[in-house]
Structure 1
Amino acid sequence: MAPDARRATLTRRVRSMGGRLVRRFGLLPAGTPDGLGQDDELVGRSWPYEVLVYFADTSEALYQIEQWYSTLEVLDAEHRVVVVTRDSRTAARVRAGSSLDVRTIAHYTTLDDVLARSSTKLALYVNHNPENFTCLRFGTLVHVSLMHGDSDKVVTVSNQTKAYDFSFVAGRAAVDRMARYATLYDAQARCIPVGRPQLDEQTAERERHRMLRTPDDLPTVLYAPTWEGGQRSAEYGSVASHGLAVVRALVESGRYRVLYRPHPLTGVRDASYGEADAAIRSYLDGLAPDRQAPGGWDGGGELATAFARADLLVCDVSGVAMDWLATGSPLVITRPAGPVAVARSPLTDLAPSLAAQDADGVVALVDRELGLDPTRAERLALREYYLGDTAPGAATAAFVEACERLFEVRDTELARIEAATQE
């Protein structure tokens, strides 16, 4: 071998070895899958799964799939489910947090090989990660977007939705939103309302917390803002524009306890959000640590638990607002500080809006909403429109039934294609 060829070969080997070491020791930049797959043990074999949940993200985005664990476990009891990741660290976290089977696949050719040998029928996705196209290419599956919440953010009418065969949505509101704002998209045919299975246990959780309340407890306001979004056009978050002023005003009124629950991605794109988040936490940490302390922050756990502790929600345009409707309690929605598009809806028209320049006036707004709740009847009427049937268990059952209907759709389509090729 010529010297130049030997040097080139050696360079490739060093780079390959270096890449493996970087992945093995977790030295990759945040958000980069480590690609440490189980490909060698999967190639040449079939698997028993009817449903594949494709999650290409790293652990920073686990909140998007975590909210689906319980629902997917119910589905798995009747139809085997596997979560496919591209990152071994994420796979370990999914295994630790759920009873679901997980496989890490680094190369799409491995998935191609396994699916060709298996009877997998349905692929589910909880976000619009561009890597989803690695799995979307397979025509033997029916592909369904679940997303990780319903909201009036423009992302819910993203053109990316067209990549999937169907979208499971919470209620009629999502169908109408897509029909109104999405171009060249048949929302009536491709959106399937299944409710919000994540809310099935919320009523019981709320009742447990109410039984622990005493007449002397201050009313609790939950401030649950969203993050700054992946780009300026999706910047609905209020942490930097409203956050500390809202929390301080409520606490210093002496009339309310404040529970602050920031979005887990707060500050990942815009440092000012991270700084504002730290300022709010620091302020709340400095308050008296007794039972009646007028504030605290929630670093994680089930959203239903935070909902159960609260009497009123202050939030941004986000999925949190929709889920809160199930509680029947009042809410206030912040107005984005920047020129961000909001898909106008019955809820954004109805709910009181709080602009950044009026953040100090939040106490009077909360006083009115908790004291009079002037829009209660209209808000309760919107609950089914946005969330479907909120009776415990109803949405989970609807989800499983919708998956089973799509199994039949898939089988019918494959039979049609096979017949066409034989003509």
Structure 2
Amino acid sequence: MNKFRELGRETIGWSALLGLSYLVMLAGVITGLWWVFLVGAVGSYAMDALLLHRLPALAKLVQQIRLGITPRALLRQLLALGLLITTPTATSTGIGMVLLTCLVLFGLQLVCGVAARLLRMRRRLPIVTRNIDLGPLRIPDSPPMVLVREPMSRLLPLDAFLVAGAVAYVAEGAVWAVVVGAIASVSLTVLALALFGWHLARARTIPESERVMEFAQNWLDSYRPEVVLYFSGSADSAYQVNMWLEAVAALPRRSVVVLRERVIAAQLAPTPVPVLCVPTSTDLMALDFGPARVALYPANTGKNIHMLRNPLLGHVFIGHGDSDKVASINPFSKVYDEVWTAGRAGRDRYDRARVGVRDDEIVEVGRPQLDAIRTDTAPNAVHSVLYAPTWEGWTDEPGNTSLTDAGPALIRTLLAAEPRVRVLYKPHPFTGVRSAAARGAHRRIVAMLEEANRAASANGDRAPAGRERPDLASLERRLAAFDTDNGATDEAHNSREEGTADPGAAAELQQLSEEWHRVYWEGRADTEHLVIQGPRPTLYSCFNQADLLISDISSVVADFIATEKPYAITNCEGITDEEFQDKHPTSGAAYMLAPDGGGLEAALAAVRSAATDPLAEDRTRLKAYLLGSGDSSSQSRFEAAVDDLYRRRSDQHPVGSGAASADAPDPDDAPGSSADSPPSGADPAPARV
């Protein structure tokens, strides 16, 4: 019932058109008017195309109510036969030919469907890889994805030629039209079957799953990884592992990224580090990671247990951001050997929570992602306010997000502020996945900002045309070329091609991304309100544009504190501000806001003049507390922590001294590799309590 409640007008309209097309065909059969039937038939084919290419959500819903492509095609053929039967001039020969062709088509399409399934299974490797040479597996080129992705949605509409022939037969009485239509439909289906057979025969060169896993083990034996970055998560959580790729790639030890979901492998950002995605738990647990002694986990998920069972590794929860949210003190964290936090705040958080994580298991390593964060602000004509609320979470605890209780009121107050400010609205990627109220608040905010921009445009305050704005599309096309899964080829083909990927791809992507952000921000008017969703512009890029952050208790706040710029937090928990700040240390230097926007004027005054910013020194102290000392970079502290743990685990479980395979690459040539000793001048191991 929930799905039906959430149907929008557009979805209901398309559903009505789909049903109407079949009703029109039925009307043509009843009245014997071939042209009425033809209108309905053309409409049904058009809807099939829209469902396949433009309306996937509706296609899924239609499939769930037993009106998928197969029943629709059979119903259309049945109605075409009905049109023939109700036509006095139609002969039994013509009717029989159409019926026979329908049966032949059904049989051929059934065989094609089986062949397509076999082809997908044969080419579906038990692993997905990147930066690993799969040459020995002899993987042939990918078949056309139009054949193997939803093949029936493409094969069943081939009856269009037969249906057209039947209509022409009714209209003109020409039997040859039925013959031509039947031959065309059957021939195209036979051609598709031949293509399936050819690609299936080529795919026989791919070894069986057992051999592929043997290959993976041989590769691990030759590469000899020392550090494992392990991740499992939903399709929307790829950002959690992506944020650690650069820090891991810079480690002076050989590293490997181990993933569990194919969808995450497809969304992983470019990296020079070898990537091994092993979806099946038994396959992963059968792999021997050799000298690896450190495993890093950015997220707490059930599948972590399949790596946690390895007793040789030192298992470390590194998280995907420090905050005062309950997720940052998850009792599951006690399964790890160590928990690495950004600063002292993380240590104190676990101490207060009493969830089983001992103080001597916590190491403060900073936030490597913030080393390049800017403390200045882009020079704009007006001050910019970044509103970045977190999502509603999986529980109904008050104050999870300010979006539902305060979001529209805050935006309304900001739009009315004098002197005027620019609003940058960047919601959490998960916003609205569980709460209809959050979705509604999000839509209202978007509508308010769009209306404010329209009003500004009507008053002559438009974004400059900017000679560089057209370059944005070109940069986006170049960035899209780095997408590891553009849909044109399958996983096996992609893994093969990415086995010899350009090692400079990550650096090139970084350069393109920086250029994209420069062009994007220069092409926007200083007064233009922006709704920012998706991977670009990045959150940190928005930090550099913002003079003030308004957010909730989340890692966004802790990260923004690195800028030392003013920030505000909305208290939606129904407690006093003093109680709120005592409960959430990250709010200790925040300007506290009421759900109705009260207190916002003080926060805005802080960005207009240093003299009206009494919390500046508090933010400096809080930065050190949350993110650690500024004596050395977070990256160097992170590297020292990895090296320290590796040495300690190696002392407990000595790495075998057997010689590596003769075919093994020189460790110094491997991505992110080095000798076992850290480079001279490296930071000493982090202090442990």
What does 1:87-98 correspond to in 2, within 5 Å? 87-94=261-268, 96-98=269-271
Residue ranges of structure 2 left out of the alignment (5+ in a row): 1-113, 125-147, 151-207, 464-524, 656-689
Match of 2:431 in 1: 266
Please tell me whether Structure 1 or Structure 2 has the larger radius of gyration of its CA atoms.
Answer: 2
- Residues 303 and 26 from structure 1, CA distance in 2 versus in 1: closer, same or farther, beyond 3 angstroms? farther
With over 3 angstroms needed to count, the CA separation of the structure-2 counterparts of 1:99 and 1:273, relative to structure 1, is farther
- Structure-1 residue corresponding to 2:627: 387
Match of 1:293 in 2: 527
Q: Corresponding residue for 2:649?
A: 410
Paired residues of 2:424 and 2:531 also in contact (CA < 8 A): yes
What is the CA distance between 1:170 and its match in structure 2?
0.3
User: Counterpart in 2 of 1:419?
Assistant: none
Q: Evaluate the alpha carbon distance shift between residue 346 and residue 112 of structure 1 in structure 2; reply closer, same or farther with a 3 A threshold.
A: closer
Aligned residue for 1:11? none
1:80 aligns with 2:320: no
Question: How much has 1:124 moved relative to structure 2?
Answer: 0.8
Aligned equivalent of 1:401, options 637, 640, 650 = 640
CA distance, structure 2, for counterparts of residue 183 and residue 69 of structure 1: 29
- The equivalent residue for 2:246 is 70
1:366/1:352 CA distance change after superposition, 3 Å: closer
5 Å-filtered alignment, 1:100-179, equals 100-115=273-288, 118-179=290-351
Shift in CA distance, 112/275, structure 1 to aligned 2, threshold 3 Å: same
| Corresponding residue pairs, total | 375
> Given the superposition, is the C-alpha separation of residues 252 and 60 from structure 1 closer, same or farther in structure 2, using an over 3 Å criterion?
same
- In 2, the alpha carbon distance for the partners of 1:343 and 1:120 equals 41
Identical columns (%): 32
Q: Secondary structure at the match of 2:348?
A: helix
42-51 vs 243-252, which deviates more?
42-51
> The residue matched to 1:52 in structure 2 has which SS?
strand
For 1:234 and 1:131, the matched residues in 2 are separated by 30
Superposition pairs of residues 164-313 of structure 1, within 5 angstroms: 164-187=336-359, 189-203=360-374, 207=376, 210=378, 213-214=379-380, 217-233=381-397, 236-254=400-418, 255-286=420-451, 287=453, 288=457, 289-290=462-463, 291-299=525-533, 300-301=535-536, 302-313=538-549
Show the counterpart of 2:12.
Answer: none
CA positional deviation for 1:338: 7.1
1:369 aligns with 2:534: no
| Equivalent residue, structure 1, for 2:504 | none
How far apart, CA to CA, are the structure 1 residues paired with 2:446 and 2:560?
Answer: 23
- Superposed CA RMSD in Å reads 2.9
Contact 2:593 2:600 in 1 (8 A): no
Provide the secondary structure at the position in 1 that maps to 2:276.
Answer: strand
Aligned-partner Cα distance in 1 for 2:331–2:397: 14
Deviations 1:181-216 (A, max 9, x none): 2244312x111001111111112xx55x63xx25xx
CA contact (8 A) 2:323 2:586 kept: no
Tell me the CA shift for residue 46 of structure 1: 4.8
What SS class does the counterpart of residue 333 from structure 1 fall into?
strand
Contact 1:38 1:105 in 2 (8 A): no
What's the TM-score, normalizing by structure 2? 0.51
* Structure 1 portions without partners, runs of 5+: 1-13, 28-36, 417-423
More off after superposition, 326-335 vs 234-243: 234-243
Q: Offset at 1:262?
A: 0.8
**Higher normalized helix content (fraction of residues):** 2
Write the distance in 2 (CA, Å) between the matches of 1:311 and 1:39: 56
Does the C-alpha gap of structure 1 residues 80 and 39 become closer, same or farther in structure 2, counting only changes over 3 Å?
farther
Query: Residue deviations 1:217-250, cap 9 Å, x none?
Result: 1111111111111222486211111112111210
Amino acid of the structure 2 residue aligned with 1:219: H
Amino acid at match of 2:392: E
- How far apart, in 2, do the equivalents of 1:113 and 1:160 lie? 24
- How far does the alpha carbon of each residue in 1:11-44 deviate from its partner, in whole angstroms, 9 at most, with x for none? xxx9xx79x77x97789xxxxxxxxx98752335
Partner in structure 1 of residue 155 of structure 2:
none
Question: Going by fraction, where is strand more abundant, 1 or 2?
Answer: 1
The 1:138–1:342 alpha-carbon spacing in structure 2 relative to 1, beyond 3 Å, is farther
Deviation at 1:294, TM superposition (A): 4.6
TM-score (norm 1): 0.81
